[in-house]
Amino acid sequence: MRFGILGSGSSGNSALLLTDGTRVLIDAGFSARKLDALLGGMSLSLNQIDAIFLTHEHGDHTAALEGLRRHPHIQIFANAPTAHCLQHDLKYRPSWQIFETGALFHFKDLEIEAFPVPHDAQEPVGFRFSSGHPDDLFSPSRSLVWLTDLGHAPLNIRDRIRDCDALVVEANHCPHLLQADPKRPWSTKQRISGRHGHLSNEAMRELLDSVASPRWRRIFLTHLSRDCNSLQAVEDSLAPLKQKLACQFFVVEPGMGTPLLSLD
Ligand SMILES: [Zn+2]
Ligand SMILES: [Zn+2]
């Protein structure tokens, strides 16, 4: 399994997941043209992408959809409320593949579980992607969990993230920088920091600290707010975790991505 983040933050989120038999994107929050260019940086193009898995309908996760009209071979996985909401604004019908939130399903050599997350959207989900076989030395089982856009992490989410090799989790804002931000009205600040908003650095730290799985090898901190967070604030929150967890941390700067990394 190989994984790389194409871009992250409120201006757009998307990541690439590769296995021996599958090339998929998780979310598609850039124009199709930009997504194609970002994939070009990894020696790929949209023509080679099999499917896109959507977490929820917000534009920073779905902006590519209208432009994907020119790439009809790409299957778009979403639950029914998300697909219905997105279809309303589209001038064509993508190749929807509807999944049930909470169910386990397969696409090629991937096993996927979509689990509910608390966020202000129709039916937002996180994903757990697994591939390979536990007893196969050449293709060992690997799992990645994608967890962004959630206001808090209830117990079912804590259980979901324990058993994975790589974890993508949001570190959206620093509460002090959010409160001091002159651009956002009070109501927006309430929404961001609310139970159906986004995880703060401190909420991310508490979540990782409470689960602290020995299986984790790579943790990606994503969806950082450009105005209401900083790399330093995220690093400060991570410092105590780095003492406790023997894994690699990647703090993804807003608007930036990561290289393509092997999860084996
Ligand atoms: Zn988002
Ligand atoms: Zn969102």
Ligand closest to CA 254? 1
Ligand with an atom nearest the CA of residue 29 = 1
pLDDT tens column, 103-128 = 999 999 999 999 999 999 999 999 99
How, if at all, do strands 125-131 and 110-116 pair? Answer: antiparallel
Backbone torsions φ then ψ of 230, nearest 5 degrees: -150, 155
For 38-66, b/e burial (b = at least 16 CB within 10 A) is: bbeeeebebeebebbbbbbbbebbbbbbb
Residue 147 predicted with pLDDT over 90: yes
* Domain 2-257 CATH assignment equals 3.60.15.10: yes
Cα 174 to middle of ligand 1, angstroms? 16
Tell me the β-bridge partners of 52.
Answer: 25, 76
How large is the average pLDDT for residues 174-184? 95
- CB 215 within 8 Å of CB 248: no
CA of 222, nearest ligand number: 1
Measured in Å, residue 10 CA sits from the centre of ligand 1 at 6
* Ligand 1 center from residue 11 Cα (angstroms): 8
Distance CA 163, CA 166 (A): 9
Surface-to-core class of residue 199, CB atoms within 10 Å of its CB (0-12 exposed, 13-18 middle, 19+ buried) = buried
Cα of 149 from ligand 2 centre, angstroms: 5
The alpha carbon of 55 and the centre of ligand 1 are apart by a number of angstroms equal to 9
Q: How many CB atoms are located within 10 Å of the residue 156 CB? A: 11
DSSP 184: S
Q: What pLDDT, on the 0 to 100 scale, is given for residue 264?
A: 82
- CA of 149 relative to ligand 1 center, distance in Å: 5
- pLDDT of 146 > 90? The answer is yes
Distance CA 167, CA 82 (A): 23
Cα(147) to centroid(ligand 2), Å: 11
184 Cα: distance to centroid of ligand 1 (angstroms): 16
> What single DSSP character describes residue 21?
S
Q: 71 CA distance to ligand 1 centroid (A)?
A: 24
**248 C-alpha to ligand 1 centroid (Å):** 24
**Domain edges within the chain:** 2-257
Average pLDDT estimate for 124-140: 85
Q: Average model confidence (pLDDT) for the chain?
A: 96
Whether pTM exceeds 0.85 = yes
Smallest-distance ligand from the CA of 124: 2
Contact yes or no for 167/161 (Cβ under 8 A): yes
Using one digit for the tens of pLDDT, what is the confidence trace for 35-92?
A: 999 999 999 999 999 999 999 999 999 999 999 999 999 999 999 999 999 999 999 9
Q: Which residues neighbour 69 within 8 Å (Cβ) at sequence distance 6 or greater?
A: 91, 92, 94
Can you point out the beta strands (E) in 117-254? 125-131, 142-147, 166-170, 218-222, 248-251
Ligand nearest the Cα of residue 119 is 2
Q: Which ligand is nearest to the CA of 150?
A: 2
As a whole number, mean pLDDT of residues 230-234 equals 97
CA gap 212, 214 in Å, rounded: 6
